[in-house]
Structure 1
């Protein structure tokens, strides 16, 4: 039996349900050891101002308490908890909920973008796909969003659409009515879903179509006598017509429909039928895997030399032809300064500093005068595979503040920028501002408790008068910070 340290936990905080997966790898094959699900319907608790209803929040926190014993048996770096559509929408107003969730679980909750969600779904489904690589279209209908991915050996197109079984239930079936007088809410939901799919008709063309997750599986079971099997176009046509005739959701009498799925089934079916019609799908396979399995594969990659974030940064560097010699100079110096300042600084923080340095001049490809602002904007809003929203925001903050006055951050859950990393990046950028090689011999950076102290030998400063002036300017920039910088020439 493998040791617990070789196991991984993925926890998906979805808009409809929370899913936990405990898995391990045997001969490079993932084995699912334990799964658990809580039907939370988080999206039901999101009001017009994107605040979470206290009742729904408490329901969600209770579910997390149930999952916690599984997480506490593993190292933190073997666990990943991700929040998807509803938590993306509520992130700015959900600090209290997220902090309580982190306190219960003992690990941070990462809010991920819709595109990152789609990538992880694709990775999970492909882990169960048989045969040689071929063109596939993956479809996942969640509680708040629907992800569609087209790809072969790797994803080629990723889409995240604002339609899900819970959000559409609230929008079209709020009173439980499916058909009333001249208004057919089911058909309205179908039309809305088809409108979202405009321009995406090609995404399933000539591809093997695979569906995954709760709504797809629920429809499959209803159509296939309780078994999860392929969904055929004419069968879902027939089911959609039957459901559209029912007056109220409570009157739905469908064999093999899970009671917990009952309240959101009509909305999920309307979306799935719209996808079949708009994308001209004749048959859909149903995968047993989804985002949880993708998260586990991603975690294993991070710990065994296949961190997707690193390859994403490398791709950006190559695309924008960033000066690799300058990256090397600034990186070497910044990491040496961080080693002086915090010898035991966590690996994840050192990685973040390296990535920020690799990307710190990305804006120069388009502008010189405002390259820091542009670079930060590009990083914050780009689809960066492997990164959570908070990680991208932190990288953007470092790039934006690599020189000049320090812009005060508006901290929130998932975004607590480190002044240590910022200081090391700024000092290294000053030392190599003229793109010249310089040694750190005679330079020492330390934390005095109430201030940072940068001690430099007078001989070093005399040899670089322009750098000396920039360092004195830097001292001024830090005077407004919680921990100022003091320059000491000896």
Structure 2
């Protein structure tokens, strides 16, 4: 058999981190990037650095064994679509060349040891391509041997530093005996603070609108908080509470916090100590989880059509093309929903809560479930949205869009937005407007759209039409009466005249 041809639209990024080695494989499809493979192995390369920064043969061996696995998967990908980057440990190791030479032999590709600054900028790019911040954003990535701290806006990193502290090196240094005590934690926090304090005045002066964590530590903390029925925003109070809970276990071997996965356990406490120091020194109020980081940053740099773009538009267009959405109808419902929101702008703060882009997105995507079947299509839409990445939308926005899509027609339950926390009121506003827009555009024609006026007083909506319009359109009148009853059941008043 002849050799298979490599697929032109498939890309691979390998990230030789200080804690784990990762391989990300993605396909460029429908104007977006679709992940088709991820391989991750804990190598803990940084644990092999001695006090003179010489990397042990054992640590190198662990790394080479992992790369042998990765090499098998790279054979099917075009050479020019593969990028391999190495970070802090191989920046620090005095014998990095020994590791690198063998690694390149195994992979058949060049390994790029990138500077801390380039790593920070690339991490920021990965976050910018997968999140939705419109203002300045603080991005933090706690790695195995370094921590990157970046403030950026749109796609540009404005302030970026790579700090010499990480969850593997701090584990070796401050939790060497694997004991969990106040003094171990405090020593690690104090050491991290000393490093962060050098940049804190510059960063606090620059300011930011939202803070995002791009590391496994932040994800692990979020999973613990969800297991404890807390919302998923990190605060210093929550971090200190988790620290106190961890100390009660006395040793890392016994550490068994609900929600903490086994593969994070070893380096969790050292990462937590660094994160507490960052919150204290930079005076961070709240932090969410970023959707991407270094690997995504490298990936988006490799694919030319993604160098700059409206990410949200790219995401929505990708869904519409993949699920064969009727684009005219999606546009019709979207512009009607926006018109309804404009009518009541003074009374309902949809715009000031940054809800308009979310209303537009869910209006354009509400019919993707039709590809499965009509009767329950709203539920199919919600399921698809819930279980598909949505670059450009934060985790909480993604949840809101999926929840609203599932409630945009038929009966829906009073408490269906409770899980959205602070976004539940915005979801309520958006769903009420969307449901009306869907009914008003039910004939799927532009020239039969009614003229209307919508007003709001507190929670009460009043929808008015020209004098005989409802008489002449009995089906529409009946649908709107049913909708009025449906909203009434949930304690929301909708009058139609």
TM category, shorter: 0.5 to 0.7
- CA-based RMSD of the aligned residues comes to 2.3
What is the deviation of 1:3?
Answer: 7.6
Q: TM-score, structure 1 length as denominator?
A: 0.58
Q: Structure 2 CA distance, aligned partners of 1:77 and 1:305?
A: 17
Question: How many residues are aligned here?
Answer: 299
Residue matched to 2:137: 136
1:219 aligns with 2:218: no
* Equivalent-residue separation in structure 2 for 1:32 and 1:287 (angstroms): 17
**5+ residue gaps in structure 2?**
309-497
2:52 is equivalent to residue 49 of structure 1: yes
Secondary structure, aligned partner of 2:55: coil
Quick check: 1:187–1:244 contact (8 Å CA) kept in 2?
Answer: no
Q: Distance in 1 between matches of 2:36 and 2:235?
A: 32
Between the aligned partners of 1:148 and 1:305, the Cα distance in structure 2 is 24
Instruction: Work out whether 1:274 is the aligned partner of 2:277.
Output: yes
- SS of the equivalent of 1:224 reads helix
Shift of 1:225: 1.4
1:236-315 alignment to 2 at 5 Å? 236-301=239-304
Aligned equivalent of 2:39: 36
Name the counterpart of 2:149: 148
2: CA distance between counterparts of 1:193 and 1:245? Answer: 23
TM-superposed deviation, 1:200: 2.9
C-alpha distance in structure 2 between counterparts of 1:206 and 1:119, whole Å:
16
Distance across 1 between alignment mates of 2:214 and 2:228: 16
Q: Structure 1 residue 178: deviation in Å?
A: 2.4
The Cα of 1:279 is off from its aligned counterpart by 1.4
2:287 aligned counterpart, secondary structure: strand
Kindly indicate whether the alpha-carbon contact (under 8 Å) linking 1:64 and 1:101 is maintained by their aligned counterparts in 2: yes
Q: Does 1:193 align with 2:192?
A: yes
Cα distance between partner residues in 1 of 2:180 and 2:212: 28
Question: Does the CA contact (< 8 Å) of 1:184 and 1:244 recur in 2?
Answer: no
Distance 1:192 1:245, change over 3 A: farther
Contact 2:151–2:208 (CA<8 Å) still a contact in 1?
Answer: no
CA distance in structure 1 between the aligned counterparts of 2:6 and 2:210, rounded to whole angstroms = 38
Report the counterpart of residue 127 of structure 2 in structure 1: 125
1:124-173 CA distance string (max 9 Å, x none) = 11111126x31100000000000011011211000110110000001101
Q: How does 1:432-443 map to 2 (within 5 A)?
A: none
* Between 28-37 and 168-177, the greater mean CA deviation after superposition: 28-37
**Cα deviation digits, residues 375-424 of structure 1 (max 9, x gap):** xxxxxxxxxxxxxxxxxxxxxxxxxxxxxxxxxxxxxxxxxxxxxxxxxx
Give the aligned partner of residue 111 of structure 2.
109
Q: Is the 8 A contact 1:240 1:273 kept in 2?
A: no
Structure 1 portions without partners, runs of 5+: 308-490
Query: In 1, Cα distance between the equivalents of 2:41 and 2:163?
Result: 24
Is the contact made by 1:45 and 1:52 (CA closer than 8 Å) also made in structure 2?
A: yes
The aligned counterpart of 1:95 is 97
Instruction: Render the CA deviation track for 1:81-127: whole Å, top value 9, x for unaligned.
Output: 1110001011x413222111111111011000111000110011111
Partner of 1:251: helix, strand, or coil?
A: coil
